[in-house]
Amino acid sequence: MNTINSQTIASVLGVGESGVAAEKPTVVLVHGAFSNGQVWGYVAGKLQAAGHPVVTVDLPGRAGAPMAPDQVSLELYRDTVVQALNGVSGPAILVGHSFGGIVIAAAAEQAPEKIKTLVFVAAYLPHDGDSLVSMAQQDPDAKIGPHLQINKEQGVAVVEYSARAELFANDGPAPLKAKLPDLILDEPLVPLVSAVHVTDARFGQVDKVYVHTSLDQVISPAFQAKMVASTPVRSEYTLQTGHLPFLTDVEGLANAIRAAAI
């Protein structure tokens, strides 16, 4: 297993080397809870500029893919990602952020042949039977719990408005913190409590890379390390960010994904 921080990723990428590059794999980007595919905009641009085709997934139940919360399920999230993979030529680099780690694990179990590498970005890295709720309960250092509100009538989980900026972008600049609370979405409840089912024969055989976020308050650095210790990955990268590196370290995250694709 190889651990590299953002300062050494350039050397992994072989920056400055000459020669004709091989065709680069498509990168499929899957957002986490309380967000949508727009969060990947800056990173997608960097990856495309580096020669990677990019597909950004909008999971059902938000503006990009509207659906009533009670109609949304983890299986539907999985199938949405598999459908995106089916539209790609060749095995893809499948990237999941936060709760998106559970979603890409489910997709890998369903269609492992469609995936070159799974990249978990500040993400849950599950075992069979895990859910977001069950994993979050194992992370005593995470600070999001007291700020989660469950609206059973509407079927959504809501993050307390006043806590959003510091929870998700504690490392971000003031202008980002001012805008962020209005960008955090309500999340359908059912997928968050649903168990993912994965096997050693399918999900277990897919190549995996983990991108740690050392200042994270949503999925703590200690829990990120614990997950990787129990589910080995090929490589690890560490970004000095909070939970949203696609907003606070665009270059570092894009480079980590590019390095994972090698």
pLDDT tens-digit series, residues 80-112: 999 999 999 999 999 999 999 999 999 999 999
Any domain includes 15: no
Q: Which of 48, 75, 50 has its CA nearest to residue 60?
A: 75
SS3 assignment, position 46: helix
As a whole number of angstroms, the longest Cα–Cα distance in the chain is 59
Please compute the mean of the pLDDT values over residues 214-231 and round it to a whole number: 98
**Please, are residues 87 and 53 in contact by the beta-carbon 8 Å criterion?**
no
- CATH code for position 68: 3.40.50.1820
Parallel, antiparallel or unpaired: strands 148-151 and 187-188: unpaired
CB 92 within 8 A of CB 27: yes
**What is the number of alpha carbons within 13 Å of residue 202 lying toward its C-beta?**
16
Work out the pLDDT band at 4, boundaries 50, 70, 90.
Answer: low
Residue 216 located in a structural domain: yes
Q: What is the pLDDT of residue 194?
A: 97
Q: Which helix (H) or strand (E) holds 102?
A: helix 100-110
Q: Mean pLDDT score of the chain, rounded to an integer?
A: 93
How many domains does the chain divide into?
1
pLDDT reading at 12 higher than 60: no
* 171 in a structural domain: yes
Categorize the per-residue pLDDT at 212 as very low, low, confident or very high, splitting at 50, 70 and 90.
very high
What percentage of the chain reaches a pLDDT higher than 70? 92
Q: Which residue has the higher pLDDT, 252 or 19?
A: 252
Domain with 187 in it: 2-9+25-260
Residue 95 lies in a domain: yes
Residue 148 domain-assigned? yes
Q: How far is CA 139 from CA 28, 40, 150, 190, 221, in A?
A: 28, 26, 19, 20, 10
Strand partners, 149: 158
Q: Could you tell me if residue 128 is inside a domain?
A: yes
Residue 14 lies in a domain: no
Instruction: Indicate the pLDDT class of residue 6, thresholds 50, 70 and 90.
Output: low
Q: How would you classify the pairing of strands 156-159 and 187-188?
A: antiparallel
Residue among 136, 121, 130, 131 at smallest CA distance from 208: 121
Asked if residue 16 is part of any domain, the answer here is no
Whether pLDDT at 14 is above 60:
no
pLDDT tens column, 27-76: 999 999 999 999 999 999 999 999 999 999 999 998 777 788 889 999 99
